[in-house]
Structure 1
């Protein structure tokens, strides 16, 4: 079986060009990116945001909070950004500092500026099918599935990982499309049941961040694999899936790097432009 490797570069460029065409509709667009502490993955994501901001003539404000910043001070900074009419979108980068309340921080972001779609209001509206914003990583996965014209109706979809950023909101959206969704997590793995679920999956979507967690032999022939996980193995970036072995079985698979990650920043800016349009009205 010859696998189709789903790279995102062409899709991302299409989104970028579409946003460039819309840029003239706004005198100014500003993204505020809040970084808590020092994390290599966050630095890489911020660098991608800066590049996109430069190409789209977007003002990029990076607000760095160090270990001396209190949760109360962080919420004060977020509230200042909420009240700043020149700021169109706010990003809060995880991981947060130890002891900080994730729910409280995302709740502090004004929902009209919540371009990550993680304010509890937006997540609640997603449950009813009417969110202001959908998390960019979720949009990336949906776009990749759309690119291969797969009919989700009745498909067995296994999601590995149950985060607020991906697993939880994606499971709701896919179920709304009448896919049969199974959620797997650390409990599934520790009960040695993960291979069972994967062997019955038509579509596997994984976002754990553990290198080669998913073995190629666990994947049934013809399955579609979307690997959102990012990890390091022998000083090289890799995903959750044992890629070379998986190629022997899958019909389609995303590489790491070059797959979902390349689209996430594109949809973040798509949400930013949507926010700017809402605020303009």
Structure 2
């Protein structure tokens, strides 16, 4: 699967570079982080590096966890004149402001999600787009209608918006979460299984069969290593195509941050 991810990445990056050349509006992003979350530092560093490589502006606002209030975040959101994102997770007691769609890079705000439900979205949440890219590469661009997809996870970041986007594409979608009876599920009847719970080992590679596409969205740290939600048992080889962690969905998600900034810049012309 790594070669598939690399192919998607290079193709999408080339498209974005071409699009940048056509824009008269500056392509710029503001990232707001609060605190010292280690995973957030990695994600932000990757985003900034991508913008730097392309000669684009990426402003990074770092706020201390102690002393930062919800009103501080809300004020930054209100003053935003170009695309902005609030890096998750935020410290306890803080939530990302409900951004207007015109500056909502992540597509998490109520306006952007409303557009998604109505099938009128300008941008999709970045991880959802990355997942759609992988499904497209594996199953074909025109094969979403009737595709049987299981989405394991119900977050507002991945699970819910992904299920809605798949429904918009006329796929047959089953939604599960960490409290579903996952042991009783017949996973073999699904063409695609997306696992996005943030719980390592919630499913394992022995449960999948040849011909299935398994997209592991989870990022967990176990014994000092980054792993996904799917546990890979030693000595058990699955014939299913399973995306790697790291270097899978996350790599494409970072690219779609840039893609969404470009889309928003294009819409503002």
Tell me the TM-score normalized by structure 1. 0.86
Instruction: Select 1:35's aligned residue among 33, 36, 57.
Output: 33
Instruction: Select 1:22's aligned residue among 13, 19, 22.
Output: 19
1:130 correspondence with 2:127: no
Distance 1:6 1:238 in 2: 19
Distance 1:235 1:164 in 2: 28
Instruction: Select 2:192's aligned residue among 203, 213, 219.
Output: 203
Number of matched residues?
A: 265
Of 203-212 and 261-270, deviating more is 203-212
Equivalent position of 2:164 in the other structure: 172
Q: Displacement of 1:148 after TM fit? A: 1.6
The DSSP-based 3-state class of the residue aligned with 1:11 is helix
Q: Displacement of 1:6 after TM fit? A: 5.9
Of 13-22 and 241-250, deviating more is 241-250
**What is the CA RMSD across the aligned residues, in angstroms?**
2.1
Distance 1:246 1:116 in 2: 39
1:162 correspondence with 2:154: yes
Q: Displacement of 1:245 after TM fit? A: 6.6
The DSSP-based 3-state class of the residue aligned with 2:230 is coil
Gap change, CA 1:113 and 1:27, over 3 Å in 2:
closer
Question: Tell me, which stretches of 5 or more residues in structure 1 are unaligned?
Answer: none
8 Å CA contact retained: 2:197, 2:218: yes
Q: How does 1:60-79 map to 2 (within 5 A)?
A: 60-67=58-65, 68-79=67-78
8 Å CA contact retained: 1:206, 1:227: yes
8 Å CA contact retained: 2:209, 2:238: yes
Of 50-59 and 218-227, deviating more is 218-227
Distance 1:27 1:122 in 2: 21
Q: Which runs of structure 1 show a deviation greater than 6 angstroms over 4 or more consecutive aligned residues? A: none
Q: Displacement of 1:13 after TM fit? A: 2.1
8 Å CA contact retained: 1:227, 1:240: yes
Q: Displacement of 1:213 after TM fit? A: 2.3
Deviations 1:37-69 (A, max 9, x none): 221111111011111111121111111122211
Equivalent position of 1:96 in the other structure: 90
Q: Displacement of 1:262 after TM fit? A: 0.7
